[in-house]
Structure 1
Amino acid sequence: MISLGAARRHVLDRVPRRAPVPVPVGDALGLVLGEDVVATEQVPPFANTAMDGFALRATDAAGAPVELEILETIAAGHAPTAEVGPGQASRIFTGAPMPSGADAVVMVERTELVDERHVRVEIEVPVGNHVRPAGDDLDVGAVVLSAGEVLSAAHLGVLCSLGVGSVLAHPRLTVGVVSTGDELVEGGQPLAPGQIRDSNRRTLLALAAGAGCDVVDLGIAPDTEEAITAAIRRGVSTCDAVLTSGGVSMGDIDLVKVILDRIGDMRWMQIAIKPAKPFAFGLVDGVPVFGFPGNPVSSMVSFELLGRPALRQAMGHTSLDRPVVRAVADGAFDRRPDGKTHFARVVARHGADGRVHVDSAGGQGSHQLGAMAAANALAVLPDGDGVATGGEVDTLLLGDVPSESGLPIDPA
């Protein structure tokens, strides 16, 4: 057996970060920025009002209440047509440009219309009151986004506010997933003797999509050399990585192993973890091919520990793994020394003490997908006798951690 660390290094060393390419802003959500973005214009581009109200000269509000002449009404998207002079004001709506001559805004709630041409201002206001100056958000020459940032919805909004149509970003991977085996079927039809429904392909497609990849369903290939070879060849010719499941254990006599050894540079590993001990990885025509175990839980755990980090690295991420927290064990996690690190499927929640608490999600067999579906975390159990109730355990978070009220909160 080899350590998980050694297996990860082998994989990560062979899945390099892809070079940044121009990406339309509309397609860039979740991508890693490949260069700094510098503002080439001001945001906002002109001084505007933060409130509905009246634009005036602050000196004219001295000694309020005062009565001022209304010059015009200025709506957002429309330019002022009159300069505000002494004793005058313009009605203005949020976001509209400030008229020349005015240096403050009094909110509408602190005014009263006298008639169509006059307004009573009830309070004094300082210069700049409720005025957003040009460049108040972003100024020319400012570095607004830095290389390496993962582009969020707010980042895309910033880019659009600057008129940026595309950015240099590390591209999203296209990942193909293929299942092989005569025993696999799809759909809800009755199963013939020896048949099982294919769950791993759909699970791996979803996991790869959740990691930020575009996914391609390569289907189920029956157990013939021609069909399996064609599926893998199709995957490596159209995708940036290919995921398979099954046929990677030492005792397996499987065409996948025979074919991948013939057409690729593969390494078949036994990793000191449970589940997901067997794992294969290599390159076929320069394209990474991951061979995950056939048991559904093993396939998912193997993806989390080895597949997801490699795919994220290729897409430019520096944070490769799920977050890990030190959690309190609400029940004992018993195990025996066997030279392996165990990953127990657990339900994590945020307790009243402000800490994350974990308990078993159910059956821990590598075939028990129901317990994996109930889990939102993996408790990491080092080789030894396990963790007693009330003990602490490192926990890999796979999803949101609910609070006692049921609301997801930040466990940090």
Structure 2
Amino acid sequence: MALLAVDEALAQLLADAKPLGEEILPTARAGGRVLSRPVQAHHSQPPFDASAMDGYAIRAADVASVPAQLKVIGESAAGHRYAGAVAAGEAVRIFTGAPVPPGADTVLIQENTERLADSAINILQTVAEGRNIRRAGLDFSKGNVVLQPGRILDPAALSLAAAANNAQLHVVRQPKVAIIATGDELVAPGAVPGPDQIISSNNIGVTEIVRINGGETRDLGIVDDDIDHIETAIGAAIENGADILVTLGGASVGDHDLVHAALTRRGMKLDFWKIAMRPGKPLMSGRLQGLNGAPLRVLGLPGNPVSSLVCSYLFLAPLVSALAGRPYQPDIRTARLGVDMPANDLRRDHIRAQIIADENGEPVATPLSLQDSSMLSALARANGLIIREPHAQAARAGEPCEVFMLR
């Protein structure tokens, strides 16, 4: 089977990926989700003319010349308005956020007054009509659409939805991602590995990539190299209503790589298998029939930790984002090579690198010395991947290159 180009594989994967159905969540629990419907204001904000400062609600005409004395007839505080009105020669002590009483057309800040007695003030400075008043509906009015579909509910958006008196919101349903790690050699973190075993780590990193792109995961644990056990785990993913099934390892062509066979027994329609990329050549994509006949997308990731995570950055992240209704734009930048690079072969290479600004602020990409696809320590030190296209010619230090930023 010929190797599929990276861009073609990604286009196939995302061709029909669109936001899933919607659900209703309490506003307080909707952080990070994507709106599926417009959000309207159910009241005006502020709902009344409100003071923007601590001071006195007065009539501007009464202080056209200063000094001037006014009679203090009451107080208006937030949540406790003055019940009367302001007439000529009168003032109401007012605090920030409090309703401006009828008759008053401006607020004079307290620093520009002098208290003469409990019921009188001396005005030291004139003030124009309308000063220090937040008019009713200044922020938004009842019936206004304050947030549009597609908006990610960040702190400001959540606060706005709540201020507009929305106790719950319609949001795009989170993609459910089931993760199955396979291999007799794997044990969970915290366990004591046998003499021929290693710690399973891919599922941890993949889970975080799913989370930051708007999905939720169900880790179905480690499954040994037994085709019946793997098929049972696949069935559990279906029963749990997964939208995406991610398998870790077992997707190559060795005698112990049984994932493809187990998926085939479950009726998977294979979309593609084996990509012209490094690391991550054994990447597999297909479709199963999920719960109640819904489509279940399958992404078979390589077992090598770096390969698994690089494939997750390049393929799983945009897929989860698309199903979650989130915009996805990989952070690809131009940098200069820090070292000479040899000619590339037929696969697109993703070289772990450190991208650091030089003395002129220009980004310089320097590959790490070890690029083995099992080395998580190298991936953790890298903040980007140098992208080398298939059959790229040798390049000299200082020449431009593309980098995929990881952080």
Verify same fold: TM over 0.5: yes
1:303 aligns with 2:306: no
Q: Which runs of 5+ in 2 are unaligned?
A: 290-294
1:293 aligns with 2:302: yes
- Aligned in 2, Cα 1:141/1:190: closer, same or farther, shift over 3 Å? closer
1:337-357 Cα deviation digits (max 9, x unpaired): 202221122233456645544
Q: Secondary structure at the match of 1:33?
A: coil
1:158-211 Cα deviation digits (max 9, x unpaired): 111111122332111121212111110123454322211101111111211121
Q: Secondary structure at the match of 2:125?
A: coil
1:199 aligns with 2:207: no
- Aligned in 2, Cα 1:390/1:190: closer, same or farther, shift over 3 Å? same
Q: What do you get for the CA RMSD once the two structures are aligned?
A: 2.1
Q: Secondary structure at the match of 1:334?
A: coil
Q: Secondary structure at the match of 2:170?
A: strand
Distance 1:352 1:379 in 2: 21
1:280 aligned residue: 284
- Aligned in 2, Cα 1:58/1:305: closer, same or farther, shift over 3 Å? same
- Aligned in 2, Cα 1:252/1:146: closer, same or farther, shift over 3 Å? farther
1:81 aligns with 2:83: yes
1:33-72 Cα deviation digits (max 9, x unpaired): 2233343432111110111111111112221232222222
2:174 aligned residue: 172
Deviation at 1:104, TM superposition (A): 1.0
Distance 1:194 1:71 in 2: 86
Distance 1:83 1:38 in 2: 33
Query: What are the equivalent positions in structure 2 for 1:115-194 lying under 5 Å apart?
Result: 115-194=117-196
- Aligned in 2, Cα 1:356/1:137: closer, same or farther, shift over 3 Å? farther
Q: Secondary structure at the match of 2:217?
A: strand
**Contact 1:387 / 1:393 at 8 angstroms: preserved in 2?**
no
Distance 1:324 1:118 in 2: 67
Distance 2:297 2:273 in 1: 15
- Aligned in 2, Cα 1:26/1:192: closer, same or farther, shift over 3 Å? same
Identity across the alignment (%): 32
1:325 aligned residue: 333
1:338 aligns with 2:345: yes
Q: Secondary structure at the match of 2:259?
A: helix
1:382 aligns with 2:385: no
Q: Secondary structure at the match of 1:144?
A: strand
Distance 1:381 1:365 in 2: 16
Q: Secondary structure at the match of 1:192?
A: coil
Deviation at 1:309, TM superposition (A): 0.8
Distance 2:361 2:82 in 1: 54
2:27 aligned residue: 25
1:256 aligns with 2:256: no
1:66-109 Cα deviation digits (max 9, x unpaired): 22222222221112222111121111111111111111112222
Q: Secondary structure at the match of 1:339?
A: coil
Distance 1:361 1:27 in 2: 42
Q: Secondary structure at the match of 1:204?
A: helix
2:292 aligned residue: none
Higher mean alpha-carbon deviation, 376-385 vs 299-308, is at 376-385
**Contact 1:71 / 1:82 at 8 angstroms: preserved in 2?**
no
Q: Secondary structure at the match of 2:82?
A: coil
**Contact 2:41 / 2:165 at 8 angstroms: preserved in 1?**
no
- Aligned in 2, Cα 1:366/1:79: closer, same or farther, shift over 3 Å? same
Deviation at 1:332, TM superposition (A): 1.8
- Aligned in 2, Cα 1:160/1:189: closer, same or farther, shift over 3 Å? closer
2:57 aligned residue: 55
Distance 2:117 2:307 in 1: 77
1:247-304 Cα deviation digits (max 9, x unpaired): 2224464221210111122345221111111111112222112110111111011011
- Aligned in 2, Cα 1:210/1:185: closer, same or farther, shift over 3 Å? same
Tell me the amino acid that sits aligned with residue 31 of structure 1: R
Distance 2:124 2:352 in 1: 65
Q: Secondary structure at the match of 2:283?
A: strand
Task: Give the TM-score, by structure 1 length.
Answer: 0.90
**Contact 1:70 / 1:91 at 8 angstroms: preserved in 2?**
yes
1:111 aligned residue: 113
Deviation at 1:135, TM superposition (A): 0.8
- Aligned in 2, Cα 1:382/1:146: closer, same or farther, shift over 3 Å? same
- Aligned in 2, Cα 1:148/1:87: closer, same or farther, shift over 3 Å? same
- Aligned in 2, Cα 1:224/1:122: closer, same or farther, shift over 3 Å? same
